[in-house]
Chains A and B, each alone.
Chain A
Amino acid sequence: MAFLEVEDLKVHFPIKGGIFGRTVDYVRAVDGVSLSLEKGKTYGLVGESGSGKTTTGRAIIGLNKITSGKVTFDGNDISNLKSRSEVRKDVQMIFQDPYSSLNPKKRVIDIVAEPLRNFEKLSKKEEKIRVQELLELVGLSPESILKYPHEFSGGQRQRIGIARAIALKPKLIIADEPVSALDVSVQAQVLNFMQDIQQELDLTYLFIGHDLGVIKHMCDKIGIMYKGRYVEEGTTEEIFNNPQHIYTKRLVAAIPDIDPKRRQEQTQFRQEVKTEYEQSYNDYFDDEGLAYKLQPVTDTHLVALPEKG
């Protein structure tokens, strides 16, 4: 049994309509996603906006109600609210927007100490020391505990968010596009820092993102989502060197390359992929434009292709 195991996860949102506001249909935000993640590894969940990657992450941590499917963490079923409370401490989240994820009316000490106050009974003094240690760990000045979030830059705020997430020494962190709201110059700092604390605290990451460069840098295993379903899953190696699905190919082809000598080659590759995409779209997606069921290519590499025969 893997450390985090998601089986056939579905999250559907009702659409209300008509005079009486009845449910007329559902938005299938996540429609049958399965993934498994080993301890100490980083799993990357990739997709365009609206593909359901964030909803998947939020459903795992319990922010979105699971319609059906099963989530097991460290051997515990955490699919419903009751069973989740025991592992609440162990699963934490880093949010995309460092501006709205910190309460603007709270001082840094109150923000970082919030989880401590919920789970650990510390005296005021102990709490302050812990918060200062955490701030130091994420590279912020311990003197700033009485400041407000708006006095920090985006990167600093994201570090506050990380300090808060690691305060309870969690085992799994769901990082929802943690750097996409930051300046490119700060992104690398935060990412490297996240890798450092992964080593230091033996963390497991579920890394959600759309920037393949970032994902390649961070992840051991990658799942690619499209319209609520997986189109391909595999190790980083497999996805980047041997993409099978046309959607993955397009994503990989779109990664910019800074080497000017290879520009010609790149353009040609992109052109090829584009032609293939236009010609064979119908082979890769069903009548509704959704992905098919996953078929194994190797032990670790799965692709959504129509069943043959």
Chain B
Amino acid sequence: MWKFSVRRILIMIPQIILLSILIFILAKMMPGDALSGMVDPNVSPERLEELRESLGWNDPWYVQYGDWVGGVVQGDLGQSFRFKMPVSEIVGQRIINTFWLSLATLIFTYLIAIPLGITSGRYNDSLLDQAITSYTYIGFATPLFIFALVMLWVFGFMLGWFPTSGSVSPGLEPGTFEYVMSKIYHLILPAIAMALITTVNTVQYLRSEIIDTKQKDFIITARAKGASESRVYNRHILRNSLLPLAAFFGFEITGLIGGTIFVENIFGYPGMGQLFLESITLRDYSVVTAVTLLFGIAAILGALLSDIILSLVDPRIRIK
């Protein structure tokens, strides 16, 4: 276990370094100074030439890279040219919204996946199972953004059950009960929209896992010794089938990163994904660089988490 984790973390270090180099190169390709955000991306080439020296652009690339990484490690993500404030502050405001959206999505994902997966697996080939399987089949083929649009259209506009944009109603005092309720209210539709699509993998996985486990010898033994049906399911099958789900947790994070970009954009929800798209359209490149870096690291950490959980759950992986 420890050996595996240490190895896995050692693999992560070059990944993060490579990621930072890739983003550094991308930032260098962007107009203006995408690392510090001190220069207007639309500045004239002549003015840029004058600025070169003061920006340190005549330094060799590794010095520039080192300065940038040094700053990032200390929490300095540069300045936003548009907002005229440190990127870390903007990110700080938005990341909380994305965190809540992601959390709500994860909760809904499991709330949907576990009962559906269990029902589908336990009563496989029943009518109910067929309905659930059809849902996962169609859900798998449906692009998230189309589904989110339809959800917004139906529940936001046509039925008017949910707000159609923002993360909280304006004019509410932070910290009050109404404020919190409004926040939750704004979360529900985007989170459900995202969860309904991302959950289909988990449902399918759980279903086939339970059907597999059902036929294993130790289940037959449990039945043979007279354990009740509910005991067989709760104590034997679920324990074995639900554990691997934990391992998917890290991968869900990676999936959420792509999802939030679409969902936040469609529901006008002010989170990181929205910030990313706004900044890239407004050519606020220092923010783009910072957000890409943060999401990239989040994805790497998610994969790390999954692998370590997986090695805890499945001892076979540790050997390799």
Cα-based distance from A19 to B7 in the complex (angstroms): 6
Residues facing A in B1-47 (CB within 8 A) are: 3, 6-7, 10
Instruction: Collect the chain A residues with CB atoms within 8 Å of residue B3's CB.
Output: 19
Number of A-B contacts (CB under 8 A): 4
Cα-based distance from A236 to B6 in the complex (angstroms): 57
Chain B residue at minimum C-beta to C-beta distance from A19: B7
Chain A residue at minimum C-beta to C-beta distance from B10: A19
Q: How many chain A residues touch the partner (CB < 8 A)? A: 1
Cα-based distance from A19 to B6 in the complex (angstroms): 8
Chain A residue at minimum C-beta to C-beta distance from B3: A19
Chain A residue at minimum C-beta to C-beta distance from B6: A19
Instruction: Collect the chain B residues with CB atoms within 8 Å of residue A19's CB.
Output: 3, 6-7, 10
Cα-based distance from A19 to B3 in the complex (angstroms): 7
Cα-based distance from A19 to B10 in the complex (angstroms): 9
Instruction: Collect the chain A residues with CB atoms within 8 Å of residue B7's CB.
Output: 19
**Distance in Å from the Cβ of A15 to the closest Cβ of chain B?**
13
Cα-based distance from A19 to B11 in the complex (angstroms): 11
Cα-based distance from A138 to B294 in the complex (angstroms): 67
**Distance in Å from the Cβ of A24 to the closest Cβ of chain B?**
14
Instruction: Collect the chain A residues with CB atoms within 8 Å of residue B6's CB.
Output: 19
**Distance in Å from the Cβ of B118 to the closest Cβ of chain A?**
39
Cα-based distance from A7 to B69 in the complex (angstroms): 59
Chain B residue at minimum C-beta to C-beta distance from A18: B3
Per-position 1/0 for A27-65, Cβ under 8 A of B = 000000000000000000000000000000000000000
Cα-based distance from A97 to B232 in the complex (angstroms): 44
Cα-based distance from A120 to B3 in the complex (angstroms): 54
**Distance in Å from the Cβ of B2 to the closest Cβ of chain A?**
10
**Distance in Å from the Cβ of A18 to the closest Cβ of chain B?**
9
Give residues in B with beta carbon < 8 Å to A: 3, 6-7, 10
Q: Which 4 A-B pairs have the closest CB atoms?
A: A19-B7, A19-B6, A19-B3, A19-B10
4 contacts between A and B (CB under 8 A): A19-B3, A19-B6, A19-B7, A19-B10
